[in-house]
A and B are shown apart, each in its own frame.
Chain A
Amino acid sequence: MYPDEFDYYNADGVDDALDLLDEHSEAGTTELLAGGHSLLPAMKTGLSSPDVLIDISDIETMQGISADGDGLSIGAMTRYSDLVDSEEVAEHAPALAAAAGQVGDVQVRNRGTIGGNLAHADPAADLPGAALASDATLVVHGPDGEREIPADEFFFGMYTTDVGPDELLTRIEIPSADGAHGAYAKKPSPSSGYAMVGVAALLDTDDDGITAARIGANGVMDHGVRLSPVEDALTDGSLDGDTIEAAANRAGDDLDVDMMMSDLQASNEFRAQLLEVYTERALTAAIEDGSSSVAAD
């Protein structure tokens, strides 16, 4: 309930945050504070005890959503609730919009941020799958300036990403879905609300059927993954239940069940089962409703 003592700094810009990171790199553990909804609970129960907290949530240049013809640029400190409310996100990144609406609860969505979610890389978080499905590029600032990381290369494993200790995820760029159908289907843990399995789907369609598909899943492996066999099975397929079902049945084809997450909430075998069902639900939702999210109680 009571965090251990630490020093708190409120960074007023990206450079300031990087300087603070550098300055305290010797001081012990330093953590960046975004929405705080993973970090503060961990600190309150003693699982995390940083010496220094650098609050980046107020950094002006890391806020907000901007859209141009090619896509979206989303500041890393943009809150989930802003993603949910944004017409631009709904239009250009429908899978992300759907997934953001499924994160935690209202209070969490009012504080938690897209950047915090992705950089923390909790395997059961809701946004990694959507970032993968949306073909997001994650922009990172470090001492040597800016670099861009495709979502496909961003997640390394449980709580580990390509962001270095002296770096900062500052924004997320997403190419416009351009009329594609997006959805996110999630089986939440009844206690924590985190995804036992979450599947984000983005489908390009024309009159003949599906022209391209990007499917990302979280909660299944130790980091967000693309479901390539499903994508392959869908591409150039027709928009009917049989195609979807056949594709969904391939959701686990590239994944080793033994390596799937297995915990108190769900065993790896059950996750493998849920993955197929929720892939089908995500695909069905994407096609039937254009853009939506599905969650079971």
Chain B
Amino acid sequence: MTEHDIELSVNGTTHELTVESRTLLVHALRDELGYTGTNVGCESSTCGACTVHLDGDAVKSCTLLAVQADGAEIGTVEGLAEDGSYAPIQEGFQKEHGLQCGYCTPGMMLAADDLLERNPDPDEDEIREAIEGNLCRCTGYQNIVNAVEFAANEMGETASPEMTAADGGGDD
């Protein structure tokens, strides 16, 4: 068994910690660092409840060793709101009743944010495709789709014209 000294920047705060080789990133975040907003729903890399951002990309933190994330910038649900105001995606989930039990919600929002980063104006099919790695058992997804559309509209209104003109689609 080897241990590793690693450094993780979580929502902009740098943490130094020692992990076993086998420690999964999600357990380092939850058990070692106390970022319990990121949830664990399966062990087969299917449900996406553990989705975080790793250097800006949505990844499943249960399918990544903590040691692999050494030096990375991690974004979790705790970092979505800024200066006390919700990110558009959070606002969307609240306004559109995009959550019920809330367990999948952090991962769902981070996956949706990844989509909106790539494609600021997704259509319904693109949204449904983008969250295929995130399971929700409560909502039937319809209000999650609405929540993501809400966020896209919100971000579109505040974004510069150049940004809204960019079309991330085009692959179908």
Asked if chains A and B are in direct contact (CB within 8 A), the reply is yes
A33 to B42, CA, bound (A): 21
| Segment at the interface with B among A59-67, A98-106, A243-251 | A98-106
Identify the interface centre among A53, A101, A192: most chain B CB within 10 Å of its CB: A53
Q: Let me know if B68 and A7 touch, CB within 8 A.
A: no
0/1 string, B1-29, CB within 8 A of A gives 1: 11010000000000000001110100000
Partner of B133, one of A4, A40, A57, A107: A107
Number of A interface residues at 8 Å Cβ cutoff, please give it. 36
* A45-B43, A81-B57 known; A292 vs B172 contact (CB < 8 Å): yes
Residues 121 to 167 of chain B near chain A (Cβ within 8 Å):
130, 132-134
Interface locus among B45-53, B81-89, B94-102: B45-53
Q: Contact string, A1-18, partner B, CB cutoff 8 A, digits 1/0?
A: 111111110100000000
Contact A7 B1 (CB under 8 A): yes
Are B111 and A107 interface neighbours, CB within 8 A?
yes
Are A292 and B171 in contact, CB atoms less than 8 angstroms apart?
A: yes
Given known pairs A7-B2, A105-B48, A105-B132, the reply for A36 and B59 (CB within 8 Å) is no
| B107 nearest CB neighbor, chain A only | A107
The residue that A5 contacts in the complex, of B21, B51, B64, B172, with Cβ under 8 A, is B21
Give B170 Cβ to nearest chain A Cβ, in Å: 10
Could you tell me if B63 and A104 are in contact, using CB atoms closer than 8 angstroms?
no
**Residues B22 and A108 in contact, CB atoms below 8 Å apart:** no
Q: Does B77 have its Cβ within 8 Å of any Cβ on chain A? A: no
A29 touches B (CB below 8 Å): no
What sequence of 0s and 1s flags, for each residue 96-118 of chain A, a beta carbon within 8 Å of any chain B beta carbon?
00000100111110110000000
Q: What chain B residues lie within 8 Å of A43 (beta carbons)?
A: 22
Judged by DSSP, the binding face of A is: mixed
Q: Is the CB of B22 within 8 A of A4?
A: yes
In the complex, the answer to whether B64 meets A105 with C-beta atoms within 8 Å is no
For residue A7, which residues in chain B have a CB less than 8 angstroms away from its CB? 1-2, 21
Q: Which of B2, B51, B64, B111 contacts A40 (CB 8 A)?
A: B64
Are A107 and B172 interface neighbours, CB within 8 A? no
Contact present for A110 and B59 (CB under 8 Å): yes
With a cutoff of 8 Å between Cβ atoms, the chain A residues found around residue B134 in the complex are: 105
Residues from chain B with a CB closer than 8 A to the CB of A37 are: 45, 63
The B-contacting residues of A in range 99-144, CB under 8 angstroms, are 101, 104-108, 110-111
With both chains docked as a complex, state the minimum distance between the C-beta of A122 and any C-beta of chain B, in angstroms.
13
Query: Closest A-chain residue to B168, C-beta based?
Result: A85
- Taking a contact as CB atoms under 8 Å apart, the answer to whether A36 and B132 are in contact is no
- A4, A6, A41: the one within 8 Å of B63 (CB): A41
**A111: which of B59, B111, B114 is its contact (CB, 8 Å)?**
B59
Give A76 Cβ to nearest chain B Cβ, in Å: 17
Per CB-CB distance, the 6 closest pairs between chain A and chain B, nearest first, are A105-B133, A8-B21, A110-B57, A1-B43, A3-B22, A44-B43
| Interface residues of A, Cβ cutoff 8 Å to B | 1-8, 10, 33, 36-37, 40-41, 43-45, 53, 55, 57, 81, 84, 101, 104-108, 110-111, 191-193, 289, 292-293
18 A-B pairs (CB sep. < 8 Å): A4-B22, A6-B1, A6-B21, A40-B65, A43-B22, A44-B43, A44-B62, A45-B44, A57-B68, A101-B171, A105-B48, A107-B58, A107-B60, A107-B111, A107-B133, A110-B57, A110-B58, A111-B59
